[in-house]
Amino acid sequence: MNAWRSVLPHLGYDLPPDLSPPNTTGPVTTQLPLELVRQSVSKREWWPIPEPVAELYRQYRPTPLWRATRFEAEVGAKVPIYVKYEGGNLSGSHKLTTALAQAHYYKQAGVRELVTGTGAGQWGTALAAACAAFGLSCTVFMVDKSLRAKPYRGSLMRLLGAELHASPSRLTEVGVRGEQGNSLALAIGEAVEYARQAPDRAFCIGSGETYSILHQSVIGLEAAAQLDGPVDHVIGCVGAGSNFGGLALPFFARHQAGEAELPTLLAVESTATPKLSQGVYAYDATDATGTGPMEAMYTIGAGFTIPGSHSAGLRFHAAAKVLSAMRHHGQIEATAVGQREALEAGRRFALSELCLPAPESGHALAAAASVASGQSRRGVLVCVSGHGLLDLSAYDDLLAGSIENAPADAEALRAATAALRPVAFDLTGVR
Protein backbone atom coordinates (compact mmCIF):
# COMPACT_ATOMS: atom_id res chain seq x y z
CA MET A 1 0.00 0.00 0.00
CA ASN A 2 1.64 3.26 -1.11
CA ALA A 3 -1.19 5.81 -0.84
CA TRP A 4 -4.20 6.81 1.25
CA ARG A 5 -7.54 7.47 -0.47
CA SER A 6 -9.70 10.45 0.50
CA VAL A 7 -13.49 10.35 0.40
CA LEU A 8 -13.83 14.15 0.17
CA PRO A 9 -13.85 14.32 -3.67
CA HIS A 10 -16.73 11.83 -3.74
CA LEU A 11 -19.16 13.29 -1.20
CA GLY A 12 -21.01 15.61 -3.57
CA TYR A 13 -20.91 18.53 -1.09
CA ASP A 14 -18.52 20.47 1.10
CA LEU A 15 -18.32 19.79 4.81
CA PRO A 16 -19.73 22.60 6.99
CA PRO A 17 -16.97 24.98 8.12
CA ASP A 18 -15.68 24.94 11.68
CA LEU A 19 -16.76 27.84 13.87
CA SER A 20 -14.88 29.83 16.49
CA PRO A 21 -15.47 28.80 20.10
CA PRO A 22 -18.32 30.74 21.79
CA ASN A 23 -16.05 32.90 23.94
CA THR A 24 -13.66 33.98 21.20
CA THR A 25 -13.86 36.08 18.07
CA GLY A 26 -12.12 35.96 14.75
CA PRO A 27 -11.26 33.06 12.48
CA VAL A 28 -10.66 29.54 13.65
CA THR A 29 -6.92 28.87 14.00
CA THR A 30 -5.04 25.60 14.09
CA GLN A 31 -1.70 24.31 15.35
CA LEU A 32 -1.76 21.34 13.00
CA PRO A 33 1.14 20.59 10.67
CA LEU A 34 0.28 22.03 7.29
CA GLU A 35 0.10 18.64 5.60
CA LEU A 36 -2.59 17.48 8.04
CA VAL A 37 -4.54 20.66 7.32
CA ARG A 38 -4.32 19.95 3.59
CA GLN A 39 -5.49 16.37 4.11
CA SER A 40 -8.55 17.69 5.96
CA VAL A 41 -9.77 20.14 3.32
CA SER A 42 -8.33 19.25 -0.09
CA LYS A 43 -10.36 17.45 -2.77
CA ARG A 44 -7.24 15.55 -3.76
CA GLU A 45 -8.11 11.86 -3.87
CA TRP A 46 -4.80 9.97 -3.45
CA TRP A 47 -2.13 10.94 -0.93
CA PRO A 48 1.29 9.24 -1.07
CA ILE A 49 2.28 7.62 2.23
CA PRO A 50 5.66 9.07 3.35
CA GLU A 51 8.37 6.44 3.18
CA PRO A 52 9.27 6.59 6.92
CA VAL A 53 5.62 5.81 7.68
CA ALA A 54 5.31 3.19 4.94
CA GLU A 55 8.42 1.44 6.27
CA LEU A 56 6.77 1.07 9.69
CA TYR A 57 3.47 0.00 8.11
CA ARG A 58 5.27 -2.86 6.40
CA GLN A 59 6.05 -4.36 9.83
CA TYR A 60 2.37 -5.23 10.35
CA ARG A 61 0.44 -4.39 7.17
CA PRO A 62 -1.40 -5.69 5.29
CA THR A 63 -3.44 -6.99 8.20
CA PRO A 64 -5.26 -10.32 7.83
CA LEU A 65 -8.77 -10.87 6.52
CA TRP A 66 -10.52 -14.20 6.91
CA ARG A 67 -13.94 -15.76 6.63
CA ALA A 68 -15.15 -16.46 10.17
CA THR A 69 -16.92 -19.75 9.42
CA ARG A 70 -17.01 -20.97 13.02
CA PHE A 71 -18.47 -17.64 14.19
CA GLU A 72 -21.03 -17.90 11.40
CA ALA A 73 -22.15 -21.26 12.77
CA GLU A 74 -22.13 -19.94 16.34
CA VAL A 75 -24.53 -17.08 15.54
CA GLY A 76 -26.63 -18.81 12.87
CA ALA A 77 -25.45 -16.66 10.01
CA LYS A 78 -27.03 -17.27 6.62
CA VAL A 79 -24.25 -15.54 4.65
CA PRO A 80 -20.46 -15.31 4.99
CA ILE A 81 -18.93 -13.05 7.64
CA TYR A 82 -15.51 -11.71 6.69
CA VAL A 83 -13.31 -10.28 9.44
CA LYS A 84 -10.64 -7.64 8.91
CA TYR A 85 -8.34 -7.89 11.94
CA GLU A 86 -6.40 -4.84 13.18
CA GLY A 87 -5.09 -6.16 16.52
CA GLY A 88 -1.77 -7.63 15.43
CA ASN A 89 0.58 -4.74 16.16
CA LEU A 90 2.30 -3.47 19.30
CA SER A 91 -0.54 -1.12 20.23
CA GLY A 92 -3.13 -3.85 19.70
CA SER A 93 -5.44 -1.75 17.55
CA HIS A 94 -6.01 0.04 14.26
CA LYS A 95 -5.00 3.35 15.82
CA LEU A 96 -1.29 2.82 15.24
CA THR A 97 -1.93 3.49 11.54
CA THR A 98 -2.75 7.18 12.04
CA ALA A 99 -0.50 7.57 15.10
CA LEU A 100 2.57 6.80 12.99
CA ALA A 101 1.49 9.22 10.28
CA GLN A 102 0.77 12.02 12.73
CA ALA A 103 4.01 11.54 14.66
CA HIS A 104 5.89 11.80 11.37
CA TYR A 105 4.22 15.07 10.40
CA TYR A 106 4.56 16.63 13.86
CA LYS A 107 8.24 15.66 13.98
CA GLN A 108 8.75 17.38 10.62
CA ALA A 109 7.03 20.46 12.03
CA GLY A 110 9.55 20.69 14.88
CA VAL A 111 7.35 19.48 17.73
CA ARG A 112 9.16 17.80 20.66
CA GLU A 113 6.25 16.39 22.67
CA LEU A 114 2.79 15.11 21.72
CA VAL A 115 -0.04 15.25 24.24
CA THR A 116 -3.35 13.41 24.00
CA GLY A 117 -6.39 12.10 25.82
CA THR A 118 -7.53 8.49 25.63
CA GLY A 119 -10.58 6.59 26.82
CA ALA A 120 -10.12 2.83 26.78
CA GLY A 121 -6.40 3.31 26.09
CA GLN A 122 -5.93 2.09 22.52
CA TRP A 123 -5.17 5.56 21.18
CA GLY A 124 -2.85 6.46 24.04
CA THR A 125 -0.96 3.22 23.52
CA ALA A 126 -0.72 3.79 19.78
CA LEU A 127 0.56 7.35 20.18
CA ALA A 128 3.10 6.24 22.77
CA ALA A 129 4.40 3.65 20.30
CA ALA A 130 4.50 6.17 17.44
CA CYS A 131 6.34 8.73 19.55
CA ALA A 132 8.88 6.07 20.51
CA ALA A 133 9.36 5.24 16.82
CA PHE A 134 9.99 8.88 15.86
CA GLY A 135 11.91 10.02 18.95
CA LEU A 136 9.21 12.26 20.44
CA SER A 137 8.11 12.64 24.05
CA CYS A 138 4.52 11.61 24.79
CA THR A 139 2.06 12.60 27.55
CA VAL A 140 -1.30 10.85 27.90
CA PHE A 141 -4.37 11.71 29.97
CA MET A 142 -6.49 8.55 30.34
CA VAL A 143 -10.03 8.36 31.71
CA ASP A 144 -9.50 7.36 35.36
CA LYS A 145 -12.21 4.69 35.52
CA SER A 146 -10.83 3.07 32.41
CA LEU A 147 -7.23 3.20 33.63
CA ARG A 148 -8.19 1.54 36.91
CA ALA A 149 -10.06 -1.18 35.03
CA LYS A 150 -7.27 -1.67 32.46
CA PRO A 151 -4.00 -1.07 34.32
CA TYR A 152 -1.86 -2.91 31.80
CA ARG A 153 -2.77 -0.37 29.15
CA GLY A 154 -1.01 2.10 31.43
CA SER A 155 1.90 -0.30 31.90
CA LEU A 156 2.43 -0.55 28.15
CA MET A 157 2.28 3.21 27.66
CA ARG A 158 4.86 3.73 30.39
CA LEU A 159 7.02 0.94 28.94
CA LEU A 160 7.01 2.86 25.66
CA GLY A 161 8.24 5.99 27.44
CA ALA A 162 4.98 7.91 27.82
CA GLU A 163 4.10 10.00 30.85
CA LEU A 164 0.63 8.89 31.95
CA HIS A 165 -1.96 10.74 34.05
CA ALA A 166 -5.38 9.58 35.23
CA SER A 167 -8.10 12.05 34.22
CA PRO A 168 -9.37 14.09 35.94
CA SER A 169 -5.95 15.14 37.21
CA ARG A 170 -4.63 18.05 39.27
CA LEU A 171 -2.40 19.26 36.43
CA THR A 172 -5.01 21.34 34.60
CA GLU A 173 -7.84 23.69 35.49
CA VAL A 174 -10.35 21.60 33.56
CA GLY A 175 -9.15 18.53 35.46
CA VAL A 176 -9.52 20.22 38.84
CA ARG A 177 -13.10 21.15 37.94
CA GLY A 178 -13.62 17.53 36.80
CA GLU A 179 -17.26 18.00 35.87
CA GLN A 180 -17.47 14.93 33.58
CA GLY A 181 -15.15 12.53 35.33
CA ASN A 182 -15.93 9.45 33.21
CA SER A 183 -15.64 11.34 29.95
CA LEU A 184 -13.16 11.18 27.10
CA ALA A 185 -14.06 14.82 26.41
CA LEU A 186 -12.59 15.70 29.80
CA ALA A 187 -9.38 13.73 29.18
CA ILE A 188 -9.03 15.45 25.80
CA GLY A 189 -9.72 18.80 27.43
CA GLU A 190 -6.91 18.21 29.89
CA ALA A 191 -4.57 17.29 27.05
CA VAL A 192 -5.49 20.44 25.12
CA GLU A 193 -4.85 22.66 28.14
CA TYR A 194 -1.60 20.89 29.06
CA ALA A 195 -0.27 21.09 25.50
CA ARG A 196 -0.70 24.86 25.50
CA GLN A 197 1.62 25.23 28.50
CA ALA A 198 4.82 24.81 26.43
CA PRO A 199 5.70 25.99 22.91
CA ASP A 200 7.24 22.70 21.76
CA ARG A 201 4.24 20.60 22.80
CA ALA A 202 1.30 19.84 20.55
CA PHE A 203 -2.08 18.27 21.14
CA CYS A 204 -2.68 15.24 18.94
CA ILE A 205 -5.97 13.40 18.40
CA GLY A 206 -6.51 10.00 16.86
CA SER A 207 -10.06 9.35 15.76
CA GLY A 208 -12.52 12.05 14.76
CA GLU A 209 -10.48 14.24 12.46
CA THR A 210 -10.68 13.97 8.69
CA TYR A 211 -6.95 13.39 8.32
CA SER A 212 -6.99 10.47 10.76
CA ILE A 213 -9.82 8.83 8.79
CA LEU A 214 -7.76 9.37 5.62
CA HIS A 215 -4.79 7.53 7.16
CA GLN A 216 -7.05 4.66 8.19
CA SER A 217 -8.26 4.24 4.59
CA VAL A 218 -5.60 1.56 4.22
CA ILE A 219 -7.97 -0.73 6.16
CA GLY A 220 -10.70 -0.53 3.54
CA LEU A 221 -8.31 -0.48 0.61
CA GLU A 222 -6.65 -3.67 1.82
CA ALA A 223 -10.00 -5.31 2.58
CA ALA A 224 -11.38 -4.58 -0.89
CA ALA A 225 -8.30 -6.22 -2.43
CA GLN A 226 -8.46 -9.22 -0.07
CA LEU A 227 -12.16 -10.07 -0.51
CA ASP A 228 -12.91 -12.77 -3.09
CA GLY A 229 -16.32 -11.33 -3.93
CA PRO A 230 -18.81 -8.56 -3.10
CA VAL A 231 -20.46 -8.08 0.28
CA ASP A 232 -23.60 -6.08 0.87
CA HIS A 233 -22.79 -4.83 4.40
CA VAL A 234 -19.61 -3.20 5.71
CA ILE A 235 -19.68 -2.80 9.49
CA GLY A 236 -17.45 -1.13 12.06
CA CYS A 237 -17.75 0.26 15.58
CA VAL A 238 -17.73 4.01 16.17
CA GLY A 239 -16.21 5.93 19.04
CA ALA A 240 -15.47 9.05 17.02
CA GLY A 241 -15.07 7.22 13.74
CA SER A 242 -11.60 6.39 12.45
CA ASN A 243 -12.04 2.60 12.51
CA PHE A 244 -15.42 2.59 10.78
CA GLY A 245 -14.38 5.41 8.43
CA GLY A 246 -11.15 3.68 7.51
CA LEU A 247 -12.94 0.46 6.64
CA ALA A 248 -16.11 1.81 5.03
CA LEU A 249 -15.28 5.04 3.21
CA PRO A 250 -12.99 3.46 0.59
CA PHE A 251 -15.99 1.33 -0.43
CA PHE A 252 -18.02 4.54 -0.82
CA ALA A 253 -15.24 6.13 -2.90
CA ARG A 254 -15.01 3.03 -5.11
CA HIS A 255 -18.73 3.19 -5.80
CA GLN A 256 -18.73 6.92 -6.53
CA ALA A 257 -15.81 6.41 -8.92
CA GLY A 258 -17.76 3.70 -10.79
CA GLU A 259 -15.47 0.90 -9.64
CA ALA A 260 -17.86 -1.26 -7.60
CA GLU A 261 -21.34 -1.61 -6.13
CA LEU A 262 -22.11 0.22 -2.91
CA PRO A 263 -22.71 -1.98 0.15
CA THR A 264 -24.66 -0.73 3.14
CA LEU A 265 -22.19 1.06 5.40
CA LEU A 266 -23.28 0.44 9.00
CA ALA A 267 -21.75 2.37 11.91
CA VAL A 268 -22.23 0.66 15.29
CA GLU A 269 -22.05 2.71 18.48
CA SER A 270 -22.68 2.14 22.17
CA THR A 271 -26.13 2.72 23.66
CA ALA A 272 -24.25 4.70 26.34
CA THR A 273 -23.10 7.29 23.74
CA PRO A 274 -25.61 7.04 20.88
CA LYS A 275 -24.66 10.15 18.91
CA LEU A 276 -25.45 8.91 15.39
CA SER A 277 -28.69 7.18 16.37
CA GLN A 278 -30.06 9.50 19.08
CA GLY A 279 -27.94 12.64 18.97
CA VAL A 280 -28.47 15.95 17.20
CA TYR A 281 -26.65 17.36 14.19
CA ALA A 282 -25.21 20.51 15.67
CA TYR A 283 -22.08 22.54 16.31
CA ASP A 284 -20.36 21.28 19.43
CA ALA A 285 -16.99 21.35 21.19
CA THR A 286 -14.68 18.40 20.71
CA ASP A 287 -13.36 18.60 24.29
CA ALA A 288 -14.34 19.79 27.76
CA THR A 289 -12.38 23.07 27.56
CA GLY A 290 -14.54 24.45 24.76
CA THR A 291 -11.54 26.38 23.44
CA GLY A 292 -11.08 24.47 20.20
CA PRO A 293 -13.11 24.97 17.02
CA MET A 294 -16.81 24.14 17.12
CA GLU A 295 -17.39 21.32 14.64
CA ALA A 296 -20.55 20.19 12.86
CA MET A 297 -21.17 16.74 14.33
CA TYR A 298 -23.82 14.35 15.43
CA THR A 299 -23.43 14.76 19.18
CA ILE A 300 -24.98 14.02 22.55
CA GLY A 301 -23.21 17.07 24.01
CA ALA A 302 -19.63 17.56 25.18
CA GLY A 303 -20.97 17.97 28.72
CA PHE A 304 -22.95 14.73 28.72
CA THR A 305 -22.08 12.53 31.71
CA ILE A 306 -21.41 8.94 30.66
CA PRO A 307 -22.90 6.36 33.06
CA GLY A 308 -20.40 5.12 35.64
CA SER A 309 -21.26 1.50 34.84
CA HIS A 310 -20.03 1.87 31.25
CA SER A 311 -17.07 -0.44 30.59
CA ALA A 312 -17.08 -1.33 26.90
CA GLY A 313 -15.45 1.73 25.34
CA LEU A 314 -16.75 3.92 22.49
CA ARG A 315 -17.19 6.70 25.03
CA PHE A 316 -16.69 9.84 22.87
CA HIS A 317 -19.68 12.18 22.80
CA ALA A 318 -19.70 12.93 19.06
CA ALA A 319 -19.00 11.42 15.66
CA ALA A 320 -16.40 12.68 13.18
CA LYS A 321 -17.65 15.56 11.06
CA VAL A 322 -17.22 13.66 7.79
CA LEU A 323 -19.21 10.70 9.12
CA SER A 324 -21.80 13.06 10.60
CA ALA A 325 -22.29 14.76 7.25
CA MET A 326 -22.60 11.41 5.51
CA ARG A 327 -25.15 10.27 8.08
CA HIS A 328 -27.10 13.49 7.55
CA HIS A 329 -27.13 12.84 3.80
CA GLY A 330 -28.18 9.21 4.16
CA GLN A 331 -24.88 7.86 2.86
CA ILE A 332 -24.20 5.73 5.95
CA GLU A 333 -26.49 4.02 8.45
CA ALA A 334 -26.15 3.69 12.23
CA THR A 335 -27.28 1.48 15.07
CA ALA A 336 -26.48 1.20 18.78
CA VAL A 337 -25.57 -1.92 20.80
CA GLY A 338 -25.61 -2.41 24.57
CA GLN A 339 -22.37 -3.29 26.33
CA ARG A 340 -23.63 -6.67 27.58
CA GLU A 341 -24.59 -7.65 24.02
CA ALA A 342 -21.23 -6.38 22.75
CA LEU A 343 -19.17 -8.32 25.28
CA GLU A 344 -21.24 -11.45 24.74
CA ALA A 345 -20.55 -11.19 21.00
CA GLY A 346 -16.85 -10.82 21.81
CA ARG A 347 -16.95 -13.90 24.02
CA ARG A 348 -18.66 -15.96 21.33
CA PHE A 349 -16.12 -14.76 18.74
CA ALA A 350 -13.23 -15.73 21.03
CA LEU A 351 -14.64 -19.21 21.57
CA SER A 352 -15.34 -19.84 17.90
CA GLU A 353 -12.47 -18.02 16.15
CA LEU A 354 -9.82 -18.25 18.91
CA CYS A 355 -9.29 -14.48 18.70
CA LEU A 356 -10.28 -12.18 21.56
CA PRO A 357 -11.68 -8.87 20.27
CA ALA A 358 -11.56 -5.57 22.07
CA PRO A 359 -14.87 -4.75 23.78
CA GLU A 360 -15.32 -1.91 21.28
CA SER A 361 -15.14 -4.41 18.42
CA GLY A 362 -17.76 -6.54 20.16
CA HIS A 363 -20.33 -3.90 19.19
CA ALA A 364 -19.52 -4.41 15.51
CA LEU A 365 -19.53 -8.20 15.87
CA ALA A 366 -22.96 -8.12 17.54
CA ALA A 367 -24.33 -6.06 14.66
CA ALA A 368 -22.62 -8.29 12.08
CA ALA A 369 -24.18 -11.38 13.66
CA SER A 370 -27.61 -9.79 13.50
CA VAL A 371 -27.26 -8.63 9.91
CA ALA A 372 -25.78 -11.92 8.70
CA SER A 373 -28.65 -13.81 10.30
CA GLY A 374 -31.35 -11.91 8.45
CA GLN A 375 -30.76 -8.77 6.39
CA SER A 376 -27.69 -9.62 4.32
CA ARG A 377 -27.95 -11.44 0.99
CA ARG A 378 -24.30 -11.86 -0.04
CA GLY A 379 -22.14 -11.37 2.99
CA VAL A 380 -20.84 -9.08 5.69
CA LEU A 381 -17.43 -7.46 6.17
CA VAL A 382 -16.70 -6.44 9.77
CA CYS A 383 -13.62 -4.84 11.31
CA VAL A 384 -12.24 -6.24 14.55
CA SER A 385 -10.41 -3.05 15.36
CA GLY A 386 -8.18 -4.45 18.10
CA HIS A 387 -7.52 -7.27 20.53
CA GLY A 388 -9.00 -7.54 24.01
CA LEU A 389 -5.99 -8.95 25.84
CA LEU A 390 -5.54 -5.72 27.83
CA ASP A 391 -9.29 -5.34 28.42
CA LEU A 392 -9.97 -8.54 30.30
CA SER A 393 -11.55 -6.79 33.29
CA ALA A 394 -14.66 -6.10 31.22
CA TYR A 395 -14.84 -9.77 30.23
CA ASP A 396 -14.32 -10.72 33.89
CA ASP A 397 -17.35 -8.60 34.74
CA LEU A 398 -19.33 -10.33 31.98
CA LEU A 399 -18.45 -13.77 33.34
CA ALA A 400 -19.33 -12.64 36.87
CA GLY A 401 -22.72 -11.40 35.70
CA SER A 402 -21.98 -7.86 36.83
CA ILE A 403 -21.99 -6.14 33.43
CA GLU A 404 -24.94 -3.78 33.19
CA ASN A 405 -26.26 -2.17 30.06
CA ALA A 406 -25.88 1.57 30.50
CA PRO A 407 -28.16 3.26 27.95
CA ALA A 408 -28.11 7.02 27.80
CA ASP A 409 -31.03 8.67 29.57
CA ALA A 410 -33.29 10.45 27.09
CA GLU A 411 -33.86 13.45 29.34
CA ALA A 412 -30.12 13.78 29.99
CA LEU A 413 -29.51 13.73 26.23
CA ARG A 414 -32.04 16.51 25.68
CA ALA A 415 -30.50 18.61 28.46
CA ALA A 416 -26.94 18.13 27.17
CA THR A 417 -27.84 19.21 23.62
CA ALA A 418 -30.54 21.83 24.25
CA ALA A 419 -28.27 24.86 23.85
CA LEU A 420 -26.35 23.62 20.79
CA ARG A 421 -26.62 25.38 17.45
CA PRO A 422 -28.14 23.13 14.77
CA VAL A 423 -26.28 22.72 11.50
CA ALA A 424 -27.94 24.47 8.56
CA PHE A 425 -26.94 22.11 5.78
CA ASP A 426 -28.43 22.54 2.29
CA LEU A 427 -29.31 19.15 0.81
CA THR A 428 -29.86 20.45 -2.73
CA GLY A 429 -27.51 19.28 -5.42
CA VAL A 430 -26.18 16.32 -3.44
CA ARG A 431 -25.16 13.47 -5.69
342-386 confidence digits (pLDDT tens): 999 999 999 999 999 999 999 999 999 999 999 899 999 999 999
Domains of the chain: 51-92+211-422 (3.40.50.1100)
- Residue 182: pLDDT over 70: no
Residue type, 234: V
- Residue 235: pLDDT over 60: yes
Which one, of 254, 216, 209, 253, lies nearest residue 236 by Cα?
216
Distance CA 120, CA 142 (A): 8
Mean pLDDT of the residues in the chain: 92
Burial pattern 290-317, b for ≥16 Cβ within 10 A else e, equals: bbbbbbbbbbbbbbbbbbeebbbbbbbb
pLDDT digits (tens, 9 = 90+) for 242-285: 999 999 999 999 999 999 999 999 999 999 999 999 999 999 99
Burial pattern 397-428, b for ≥16 Cβ within 10 A else e, equals: bbeeeebebbbbeeeebeebbeebeebebeee
Lowest mean pLDDT among 101-115, 306-320, 416-430: 416-430
Find residue 116's DSSP bridge partners. Answer: 140
Using pLDDT thresholds of 50, 70 and 90, give the confidence band for residue 178.
low
Distance CA 129, CA 157 (A): 8
Using pLDDT thresholds of 50, 70 and 90, give the confidence band for residue 175.
confident
The pTM for the full model equals 0.94
Distance CA 175, CA 181 (A): 8
Distance CA 254, CA 160 (A): 38
Using pLDDT thresholds of 50, 70 and 90, give the confidence band for residue 180.
low
Give the length of the chain.
Answer: 431
CA atoms within 13 A on the CB side of 123: 34
CA 318 vs CA 191, 238, 287: distances in Å: 18, 10, 10
pLDDT digits (tens, 9 = 90+) for 387-403: 999 989 999 999 999 99
The stretch 212-221 carries a mean pLDDT of: 98
End-to-end CA distance of the chain: 29
Residue type, 82: Y
SS in 3 state form for the chain?
A: CCEEECCHHHCCCCCCCCECCCCCCCCCCCCCCHHHHHHHHCCCCEEECCHHHHHHHCCCCCCCEEECHHHHHHHCCCCCEEEEECCCCCCCECCHHHHHHHHHHHHHCCCCEEEEEECCCHHHHHHHHHHHHHCCEEEEEEEHHHHHHCHHHHHHHHHCCCEEEEECCCCCHHHHHCCCCCCHHHHHHHHHHHHCCCCCEEECCCCCCHHHHHHCHHHHHHHHHHCCCCCCEEEEECCCCHHHHHHHHHHHHHHHCCCCCCCEEEEEEECCCCHHHHCEEEEECCCCCCCCCEEEEEECCCCCCCCCCCCCCCCCCECCHHHHHHHHCCCCEEEEECHHHHHHHHHHHHHHHCCCECHHHHHHHHHHHHHHCCCCCCCEEEEECEECCCCHHHHHHHHHCCCCCCCCCHHHHHHHHCCCEECCCCCCCCC
In 10 A of CB 99, how many CB atoms?
A: 32
The stretch 416-423 carries a mean pLDDT of: 94
Using pLDDT thresholds of 50, 70 and 90, give the confidence band for residue 26.
very low
Residue type, 193: E
Lowest mean pLDDT among 174-178, 224-228, 353-357: 174-178
